[in-house]
Structure formats: structure tokens, C-alpha cells
Amino acid sequence: MKILHLDTNHALLINQLQAFGYENDEDYTSSKSAIEEKIHNYDGLIIRSRFSIDKTFLDAATNLKFIGRVGAGLENIDGDYAQQKGVHLIAAPEGNRNAVGEHALGMLLSLFNKLNKADREVRSGQWRREDNRGIELDGKTVGLIGYGNMGKAFAKKLMGFDVEVLCYDIQDDVGDDNAKQVSLREFQESVDVLSLHTPQTPLTVNMINADFIKSFKKPFWLLNTARGKSVVTKDLVTALKSGKILGAGLDVLEYEKSSFEDLFTSEIPEAFQYLIKAQNVLLTPHVAGWTVESKEKLAQTIVDKIESHFKL
């Protein structure tokens, strides 16, 4: 079987596949149209988020048996059409769930204790102790929307704190010892912190909008280590200004390119200009699952799933 790799990954990915007997080709620079012209030669495709795999691409991939995405989500692939064509889809949410859980916890503690704000001030010669008085996580209710690999990893990290952890998910019976599954109404009446752990789907795009934010009983803190398009940025800014949202930790942004490799090439939106100046907003460049360890784990997960499903 021949596999085409479209993005660079941990070296073990190609090395182990080769040891299993797969033939591996790499092409990290050709255009999508150029890849389409030769994809019929391949049985497998490995990609991160370089470009979308749509119907046109899949129609050209006449011999394709699987697509492995070295990441958690599959939204850059037309999954329904791929399955119609008999193409097996492989993702690796197990590979970076721990990294995402740690990153979410780090963002939350940094926001609560104003660590980034205090650091900037001390570096500029300002010593403002009262202005940087923090709040404690103990006694708070943390709510997770989406309780799959990422949500479960974050809930596990929270078990060292005296907190109540609630989860809301469209699937039934996903709660466990680390998080109590509740209705959306109970969720919105209780939480002090809202953390998103959902994939990008028609249900989650623009999910966190003005009406949704207003439905929460208490002012709350928002964390998003999931997908940027789940949050309507201008509505987030309005809620930050009013105090309905007390602060936000955003690893992903509405304005990201679909490849996640860049932000935007045009004029900076007004809402984002507010975010980059806000003292109660923490921003990172889609790196919650992007650790030294997760790079290896993601690659290993893909290898293991390919080897299990397509033993030569």
C-alpha cells in the first residue's frame, strides 16, 4: 500500500509505517490541484489541516482506502462523502487530550490570578499588588460543553481542586466520577466557568452567541480550546464589556484560517482589536494540543490505528 503524506509530522509516523511494509511518499509543497492529479496512485493519505478534502478531491482519489488526520477533529474532510466512497477516516483525539486538559487548566489559573497582567506590569516597573489580587478556583462550578476525549481530560485535571464539575453533551450517559452530566438549563443556572470541548459541526458553529450568553444565570469565565468558529467574537466582546463574561481564555479564534496555520491576511477585525488590548483576555495561537509529547502521541495513535485496521 502506498501512502502520501501532505504535512510534516513526528518522524516515527513514516518510520513505523515503512517498517510495517507501507510505501511512503511526501509532498509538503504542491498545490491542492497538483495533489489531485496524482492522488489516484495512493491507498492512504496522511494530513493535518493543510487543505480541505472535498468531493472533487475524493472523486480523484479512486484507490484511496483511508485518510489519517494527525489531530482530533475531521471537519476539514467531507466525512459523509468519504464514507460513501468507502474511505476509512482516522483521527487521533487520544493523542493530544492530555495536552489540551493541561492547557485549559493553565489558562484558567492564569486568568483567575492575573498572572499575565501582573507579569507585564512588573517587567515595566509597576508594583500593583491590590490591582492584581486574584480569585481562587476552590468552591467554583466548572461547566464543560462537550464531554469526549478533551472534556474528560480537563475534568480529570480539575479533580485536585475543591470544585464541582458539570458537563453538557448531546450524547446521553457520558458523565463519570469526574463530571456530572446535567441538562442545559441546570448547566446555565450553575456554572462559574464555561469551557468548550466540542468539535466543529453545524450545531457548534456560532454556538456561543449573544442569546446563549444571556441565558446564563451568573457572570462567568469562558475558555475555548476547541474550535474558534464556535464563538461569535463580537458577541463575546459585548459580554466582556458588560461584565456578563468576566474574562476569556482563547486558544482558538473565529478568524483562523481553516488550516489553523495562520490568522488572517486582511484588516484586523474590530472585535479582535478589543481582545488583544483587554486585560482579562488570554490568547494563545491554537497550541493547546501542541506539545512535544503530543506530537509523538498523535503520530503513534495514527500508526496504531492504521496498523490495526489495515494489517499487511
Q: Spot the catalytic one: 48, 97, 227, 254.
A: 227
Determine the 3-state secondary structure of 145 from DSSP.
Answer: strand
Is 133 tagged catalytic? no
Tell me the CA distances in angstroms from 275 to 97, 234, 253, one per residue in order: 26, 10, 11
Q: Spot the catalytic one: 128, 256, 261, 267.
A: 256
* DSSP-derived secondary structure for 255-283: T--TTSS---SSPPPHHHHHHHH-TTEEE
**Phi, psi (deg, nearest 5) at residue 130:** -65, -40
For the chain, state the CA radius of gyration.
21
Is 254 tagged catalytic? no
Q: Spot the catalytic one: 10, 103, 197, 286.
A: 286
Is 286 tagged catalytic? yes
d(CA 226, CA 236) in angstroms, rounded, equals 16
d(CA 286, CA 290) in angstroms, rounded, equals 8
Tell me the CA distances in angstroms from 70 to 54, 73, 98, one per residue in order: 18, 9, 15
Residues noted as catalytic: 227, 256, 286
